[in-house]
Amino acid sequence: MLVIVDDRDEKVDDLNLVSLNNTEEIDIPAIMISKNDGNTIIDFVAKNPSKIVRAYIRFPEALKTKTVNYQYWLSAMDASSYQFLE
């Protein structure tokens, strides 16, 4: 897993990192944490180089509703877009 530490003091709670890789290559999960949280981990590792750091990463569940939101983009020059809309 890749942990990215933000270099600015800003809220990163709403940021989702998604893979756009549609191949069979190696896929590495990644998260971004705040500068403050990252500095806490970095300071701990610097002061305790022989200790192993274990992190419990908990991803929030998607909000489940009975409503589906979507966007459909089309090209005015593409006849199949109009067929799909019908």
pLDDT in tens, 7-34: 888 887 766 665 555 666 666 777 888 9
For 52-83, what is each residue's pLDDT tens digit? 888 887 766 666 777 877 777 777 788 888 88
pTM, rounded to two decimals: 0.53
Neighbouring residues of 10: CB distance < 8 A, sequence distance ≥ 6: 34, 35
Determine the Cα–Cα distance for residues 4 and 81; give it in Å rounded to an integer: 39
Burial class (CB in 10 A: 0-12, 13-18, 19+), 37: middle
Alpha helical stretches, state H, 1-86: 35-47, 79-85
- The answer to whether the beta carbons of residues 4 and 33 sit under 8 Å apart is yes
